């Protein structure tokens, strides 16, 4: 039976928090050395409803870096600036079934990255945000996230430097993209921009508002500010649904049924269109780069409240 969400959500997340707090499965991302230092005991769940109310438990104010959760949002920024035909000429919208950092993820004929949720697509999207230098190019990205979360945001310079120093794989991808003329300009500058968007500091409450703004058709539920057009929010959700969970997108669609995006620092968002944004933070990730506790919590919430977008009960 479907429970009424507002009445029971706080006690449900309290229960799920206690249930999964002892779960120490997974590992902290170590290919970015700075992320390996995260405290495995950190755990937070936050849910923002489209009416602006929030429910949370755990270390919901603890900051961490956004990583790949940034990808759909920067895609939305570029989509609004350049429109669908241009975006489609540079980056596809097909799931790959490959890992987030695969280097064989360019389409055979067009050489476009398959989609903007994998690294090749996201690097191509970041490279579209132009300006005289990295600082000028970063500015609209910072403003964008400030609008989503409702306050100013900063970059974690240690994480940025750490990723920049060790990003041999992403550098290879960017060189391939330049070779096929998917990106132009200075490769290092575009990579810097991408690493900086990944190094943006947020907390779990912020994540819930990123998700809830999409659930609310582009209007930030608390500030009531219009952050983006409903059509762009819809397109981002489609991409999150088909590609947001990388090589487990199909299993996720089957078991959770919600558009979602994970990041290797342990953030995970899921969107219940028209209703709420759900966020979980726990830095222990699985081999696919998804927060282990995050996946467990989302599966249980989706099952308990029948949240799948394909359910006929809402």
Q: Which residues are the active-site residues? A: 68, 71, 194, 246, 264
Of residues 211 and 264, the one with the C-beta less far from ligand GLU: 264
- In total, the chain counts a number of residues equal to 314
Provide the mask over 171-200, with x wherever binding to ligand GLU is found by CB under 6 A and - wherever it is not.
---------------------------x--
Among 12, 67, 126, 203, binds ligand GLU (CB under 6 A): 67
Decide: is 60 part of the binding site for ligand GLU (CB under 6 A).
Answer: no
Work out how close the CB of 311 gets to ligand GLU at its nearest, in angstroms, rounded to a whole number.
Answer: 28
Work out how close the CB of 1 gets to ligand GLU at its nearest, in angstroms, rounded to a whole number.
Answer: 36
Number of residues that bind ligand GLU (CB under 6 A): 11
Of residues 12 and 162, the one with the C-beta less far from ligand GLU: 162
Decide: is 289 part of the binding site for ligand GLU (CB under 6 A).
Answer: yes
Among 28, 101, 115, 126, binds ligand GLU (CB under 6 A): 101
The three-point CA angle 182-154-123 to 5° equals 10
Decide: is 208 part of the binding site for ligand GLU (CB under 6 A).
Answer: no
Decide: is 68 part of the binding site for ligand GLU (CB under 6 A).
Answer: yes
Decide: is 170 part of the binding site for ligand GLU (CB under 6 A).
Answer: yes
Work out how close the CB of 65 gets to ligand GLU at its nearest, in angstroms, rounded to a whole number.
Answer: 8
Decide: is 12 part of the binding site for ligand GLU (CB under 6 A).
Answer: no
Sites for ligand GLU among residues 107-166 (CB under 6 A): 119, 163
Decide: is 294 part of the binding site for ligand GLU (CB under 6 A).
Answer: no
Whole-Å CA distances, 279 to 30, 57, 144: 23, 11, 19
**Strand, helix or coil for residue 251:** helix
Work out how close the CB of 34 gets to ligand GLU at its nearest, in angstroms, rounded to a whole number.
Answer: 11
Among 20, 64, 73, 100, binds ligand GLU (CB under 6 A): 100
Work out how close the CB of 6 gets to ligand GLU at its nearest, in angstroms, rounded to a whole number.
Answer: 32
Work out how close the CB of 119 gets to ligand GLU at its nearest, in angstroms, rounded to a whole number.
Answer: 5
Of residues 50 and 159, the one with the C-beta less far from ligand GLU: 159
Q: Considering only CA atoms, which of 1, 139, 167, 3 is closest in space to residue 74?
A: 139
Of residues 15 and 247, the one with the C-beta less far from ligand GLU: 247
Count of alpha carbons within 13 angstroms of residue 41, beta-carbon side = 0
Of residues 51 and 251, the one with the C-beta less far from ligand GLU: 251
DSSP the chain: -PPPHHHHHHHHHHHHHHHHTT---SB---SSGGGGGS-TT--EEEEEETTS-EEEEESTT--EE-GGGHHHHHHHHHHHHH-HHHHHHHS-----SS-TT-S--B-TTT--BS-TTSHHHHHHHHHHS--SSHHHHHHHHHHHHHHHHTS---B-HHHHHHHHHH-HHHHHHHHHHHHTTSS-S-HHHHHHHHHHHHTBEE-HHHHHHHHHHHHTTTB-TTT--B-S-HHHHHHHHHHHHHHTTGGGHHHHHHHT-S-EEE-TTSEEEEEETTTEEEEEE-S-B-TTS-BHHHHHHHHHHHHHHT--TT-S--
Sites for ligand GLU among residues 228-287 (CB under 6 A): 263-264
User: Which residues bind to ligand GLU, rule: CB under 6 A?
Assistant: 67-68, 100-101, 119, 163, 170, 198, 263-264, 289
């Amino acid at each position: 039976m479907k429970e009424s969400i507002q009445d029971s959500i706080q006690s449900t997340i309290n229960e799920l928090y206690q249930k999964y707090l002892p779960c120490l499965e997974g590992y902290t991302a170590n290919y970015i050395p700075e992320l390996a230092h995260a405290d495995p005991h950190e755990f937070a769940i936050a849910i923002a409803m489209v009416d602006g109310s929030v429910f949370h438990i755990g270390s919901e104010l603890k900051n961490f870096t956004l990583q790949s959760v940034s990808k759909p949002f920067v895609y939305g920024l570029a989509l609004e600036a350049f429109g669908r035909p241009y975006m489609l000429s540079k980056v596809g919208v097909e799931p790959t079934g490959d890992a987030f950092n695969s280097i064989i993820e360019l389409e055979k004929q067009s050489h476009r990255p398959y989609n903007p949720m994998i690294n090749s697509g996201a690097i191509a999207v970041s490279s579209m945000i132009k300006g005289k230098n990295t600082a000028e190019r970063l500015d609209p990205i910072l403003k964008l996230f400030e609008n989503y979360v409702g306050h100013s945001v900063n970059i974690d310079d240690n994480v940025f430097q750490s990723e920049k120093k060790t990003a041999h794989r992403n550098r290879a991808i960017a060189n391939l993209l330049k070779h096929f003329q998917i990106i132009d300009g200075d490769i290092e500058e575009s990579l810097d921009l991408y690493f900086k968007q990944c190094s943006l500091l947020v907390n779990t409450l912020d994540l819930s508002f990123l998700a809830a703004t999409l659930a609310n058709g582009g209007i930030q539920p608390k500030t009531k500010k219009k952050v983006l057009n409903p059509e762009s929010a819809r397109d981002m959700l489609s991409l999150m649904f088909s590609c947001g969970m990388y090589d487990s997108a199909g299993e996720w669609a089957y078991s959770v049924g919600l558009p979602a995006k994970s990041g290797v620092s342990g953030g995970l968002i899921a969107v219940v269109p028209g209703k709420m944004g759900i966020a979980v933070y726990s830095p222990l990730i699985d081999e696919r780069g998804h927060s282990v506790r995050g996946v467990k919590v989302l599966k249980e919430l989706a099952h308990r409240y029948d949240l799948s977008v394909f359910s006929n009960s809402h």
